[in-house]
Structure 1
Amino acid sequence: MIRYIRYTLLITLIGLAACQEVLEPKPVTLLVDELVLNEPNDVQPVRIGLYSAFRSMAAPNIIAGDFTADYIQANGTYTDEIELGTKRITATNGAVDALWSGLYRTIYVANFILERLPALTTVPEATRKQVLAEARFMRGWANFIGVYTYGDIPKVTSTDQSANTTIPRIAKADMLASVLADYQAALADLPSVTSASTNATTNATYLNKINCQAALARYYLYQKNWAQAESLATVVINSGVYALQTNYSDIVTKDFTSESILEVGYNLTDDPGTSNDPVTGSPGLNNLLVGRREVIPSNQLVSSLLSAEAGTRSTTITFNAQQQRGNDNGWTVRKYGTASEDNNNIVLMRLAEMYLIRAEARAQQGKLTGTTGAIADLNVLRTRAKAPAITAGAQADVLLAVERERVYELAFEGQRWYDLVRTGRAQAVMSAFSPNWNSRYELWPIPQREIQQNTALQQNPGY
């Protein structure tokens, strides 16, 4: 059974930007079981609840994308991180459970809005359209992450408790069709943003047409619809709403940069960077990567980021000789700070990814050279990173260059495992990385607690 339905869950409604308030009214506490949407004044609190639920997916999604892959090695005593680092993942892993909970919490609040808001005729039409579009986008995003993490998953479209207790898994293709429908519906009614003159925090915090098009570009890349992926990435790049940071180090050390397309923020009183997430219970990224260093960058990743090809992107990690002992290589991830630092947010999409999506889509279509070729897109990022330019090569070589560039550019942004699986490279890369790797790890297990509570669910093979 999907546990957010049976148990009362606390959503802390906060300002979505680090150390500042970006949504009104002031932060309040709201129980999911007591969500109220009866009059216009209820819309903003429930909307904030939607964004807060959406935010709860972010940290466990980073853990799924990077801890499952070849970026980390276990370095502490936490069982969950030891399982991920040694590639012995089980259905009782806390991160596996935390991501599932975050996904379905977001879906629940989105469904609540989609059920109740259309009936509130006293809400201004523009407000109703925008909030409904935000709900459709976030439900689509959650289901997109869900199918690429767990495979076939339950499709939950209502808040009916009795109906939701025995929903079986549906085929991945059917779920992806519903994701596309949600994204397209959202795109129609999300507000337009026409230039970068709007505050960068607003552009990255609130949903708009351009960041919805960015999500669609990623969707089509995963679907291998190269033409659509290229087209939508180009729309985002050419929009002028987002701009590459001059220095890559700002991506590591600052929140809400000019190239952040979608970013979830935290404030001083509610920051999972240094403690467990108050909703999912998932350990914070700063706690795992910096404070306790339960996982550290793998030797392979360190070697990649220190290469000439990575350029200034080596600033993603830092070295301390005093920590180098035994199996500890002395390296630490710098990307996630504490609540008092200016880099404790989690970036879900940024402009550099759009260049990488377009480069891969163009390479897959044989568009390698020239101003509209894949190599030109890669060299935009290499120039920013002060790395040597790529010269012309065969299609297979350019695609491998794209894979390497995604490692340099997106390290610890939650994409590596998903990249390896979607490109069919997981078995080759991961079996060379760990003797414990098994093809079953191309999907995470369904959380054991869900299997026990919902008799309609079946476990993924091998778990």
Structure 2
Amino acid sequence: MKSGIKLFILIALLQTGCKKLVDPSAPGNKIGYQAVYANNKTASSVLSRLFSDFGSFSEGTAGIPILMSISGDDLNAAAASDLFTQDMYSNRIMKDGTYWWYDMYKYIYTTNDALEMLPVSKGVTDPVRNQLMGEARFARAFCYFYLVNIYGDVPLITSTDYQENITKGRTASEQIYQLIVNDLIAAKALLSDKYFNADITTVSTERLRPTKAVATAMLARVYLYLKEYAKAEAEASEVIANPIYELPELNSVFLRSSKEAIWQLPALQARFNTMDGKALILRTTPGIPNGPRPEYPFVISTFLKNAFETGDTRSTKWIGDSSGFKFANKYKVWDIDKPITEYIMMLRLAEQYLIRGEARIKQNKVGEGIDDLNALRKRARGSNPGDLPDLSKAMSQDAAIQAVEHERQVELFVEWGHRWFDLKRTDRLNAVMTIVTPQKNPAVTWQPFRALYPLPSGEVNTAPGLQGHQNPGYN
């Protein structure tokens, strides 16, 4: 666990720890390093560092993908030795359970700072300014999307004014979502359609910085969650139609050179590919029995294992086998000092097919929606007769929605909390977790309030705007 730095104290320190007053035309009372936004190079470094820091909640045993997968029914973490992981896995965490809150608000502060400073910077050229402002709007929307889906109503912080921010209470989720949509629409307008290197002037062959398509893909997801299905379909269709994105064969999806990648992050820790690979891949050690260990305690759950249909090669290409122990194997490299062949996947094309398929079905365009699901089934189909057949385009709308849930489960497992969020947004979480939780730990009964995680107790106890406003059930 990271130290319990209080959000609003952190914001104050970030602000008052700076040295120089900015240009007088900057927002009132704004304090910051004037030199940071003095030119293209230094300004772009702020956002470069921000996206590098995103790795803190993006991968490994502290990341959203793994921890939310053990909260749900993707992963079994029974071999974990630390109480925090066990409590997350058993759905019995009570307080101070996650520290993503602190990281995300720190990153939101950075985006707010950039959005205040870039418009008044005289040394940043307009093309770079637009790109960086688009990146900042996207990053803020991305953080708020996860904050609101993990914690529910959260403080809406859009400035760097400490005196204002310290008074903030919880803002209704609907208002948070409006900011997310507005930020993504603005980001889409500001961002280039090209992937840039860190200098924001030379084009990159890697997909590590946000582009117009990155904002579009995220907007498609947000519209789906908001049940604005026509808009979700339109945004997803725009990404799917982009010729630079393809559905490669399964073993190529998570490579750094993946044509499916819409947005990736580079290695978080030096000398390793991804922390997810390091944490999830089981390996043999001479003299030690095979299977999960505290260093890599995760295997796929029985629920996920049983979800795969006959002939679905995702069950072999994305699931590893270590002497009968099945583990998530989307990432293939775990050991140190190997060539960097994999990056952490943030957004990818398959999700856009799933978004569009669901959005079409919800608009009663069942046949078109099933076509999108079948595109992914075709890629995963084995070579034997009868393997993973196409879904019928004549099925009912209700059956088609069930097919969407299934396809999302076997396609997006252990990625970014998709399964947990899907069960929540479709009102299926209680039904599933009532069965799952007692099988994880017979001493624990699922309680519906755990659909939201607790706010950090330090915030609730000391932040003036949050005192006494913990999520129900955690008081």
What TM-score do you get using the length of structure 1 for normalisation?
0.82
Residue 335 (structure 1) shift: 2.8
Gaps of 5+ in 2: 1-5, 16-30, 196-201, 283-292, 382-387, 439-444
Gaps of 5+ in 1: 10-31, 275-283, 325-329
Equivalent position SS for 1:169 = coil
Residue 5 (structure 1) shift: 2.1
Residue from 343, 346, 368 that aligns with 2:344: 346
Is the 1:200–1:256 Cα contact (8 Å) retained in structure 2? no
The answer to which of 212-221 and 441-450 deviates more is 441-450
The whole-number CA distance in structure 2 between the counterparts of 1:162 and 1:176 is 24
Residue 154 (structure 1) shift: 0.8
Residue 190 (structure 1) shift: 0.5
The whole-number CA distance in structure 2 between the counterparts of 1:102 and 1:257 is 28
4+ residue runs over 6 A deviation? 32-35
1:357 aligns with 355
2:49 aligns with 49
Q: How many residues align?
A: 412
After superposition, residues 39-438 of structure 1 pair within 5 angstroms as 39-40=38-39, 41-59=41-59, 60-74=63-77, 75-93=79-97, 96-97=98-99, 99-193=100-194, 202=205, 204-245=207-248, 247-252=249-254, 254-266=255-267, 269=270, 273-274=274-275, 286-287=278-279, 290=282, 292-305=295-308, 307-308=309-310, 310-321=312-323, 330-336=325-331, 337-338=333-334, 340=338, 342=340, 344-369=342-367, 373-386=368-381, 387-391=388-392, 392-414=394-416, 415-435=418-438, 436-438=445-447
The verdict on how the C-alpha distance between 1:153 and 1:64 changes in structure 2, with shifts beyond 3 A counting, is: farther
Residue 147 (structure 1) shift: 0.5
The answer to which of 53-62 and 293-302 deviates more is 53-62
Is the 2:277–2:329 Cα contact (8 Å) retained in structure 1? no
User: Is 2:459 aligned against 1:450?
Assistant: yes
The whole-number CA distance in structure 2 between the counterparts of 1:161 and 1:241 is 43
The verdict on how the C-alpha distance between 1:153 and 1:219 changes in structure 2, with shifts beyond 3 A counting, is: same
The whole-number CA distance in structure 2 between the counterparts of 1:37 and 1:416 is 40
The verdict on how the C-alpha distance between 1:314 and 1:62 changes in structure 2, with shifts beyond 3 A counting, is: same
Is the 1:39–1:120 Cα contact (8 Å) retained in structure 2? yes
Equivalent position SS for 2:54 = helix
The whole-number CA distance in structure 1 between the counterparts of 2:72 and 2:243 is 34
The whole-number CA distance in structure 1 between the counterparts of 2:172 and 2:264 is 30
Equivalent position SS for 1:153 = coil
Could you report, residue by residue, the CA deviation over 1:364-387 in whole angstroms, capped at 9, with x for unpaired residues?
111112xxx111111111111013
The whole-number CA distance in structure 2 between the counterparts of 1:201 and 1:382 is 31
The verdict on how the C-alpha distance between 1:218 and 1:130 changes in structure 2, with shifts beyond 3 A counting, is: same
1:23 aligns with none
Larger radius of gyration: 2
User: Is 2:442 aligned against 1:439?
Assistant: no
The verdict on how the C-alpha distance between 1:109 and 1:256 changes in structure 2, with shifts beyond 3 A counting, is: farther
Equivalent position SS for 2:210 = coil
The whole-number CA distance in structure 1 between the counterparts of 2:55 and 2:355 is 24
User: Is 2:7 aligned against 1:5?
Assistant: no
Is the 1:308–1:388 Cα contact (8 Å) retained in structure 2? no
The whole-number CA distance in structure 2 between the counterparts of 1:341 and 1:452 is 47
Could you report, residue by residue, the CA deviation over 1:151-179 in whole angstroms, capped at 9, with x for unpaired residues?
00011112233433342110000111111
Residue from 445, 464, 471 that aligns with 1:460: 471
CA RMSD after TM alignment: 2.6
Residue 80 (structure 1) shift: 1.8
Could you report, residue by residue, the CA deviation over 1:250-293 in whole angstroms, capped at 9, with x for unpaired residues?
225x234100111111166275945xxxxxxxxx6633664723
Equivalent position SS for 2:46 = helix
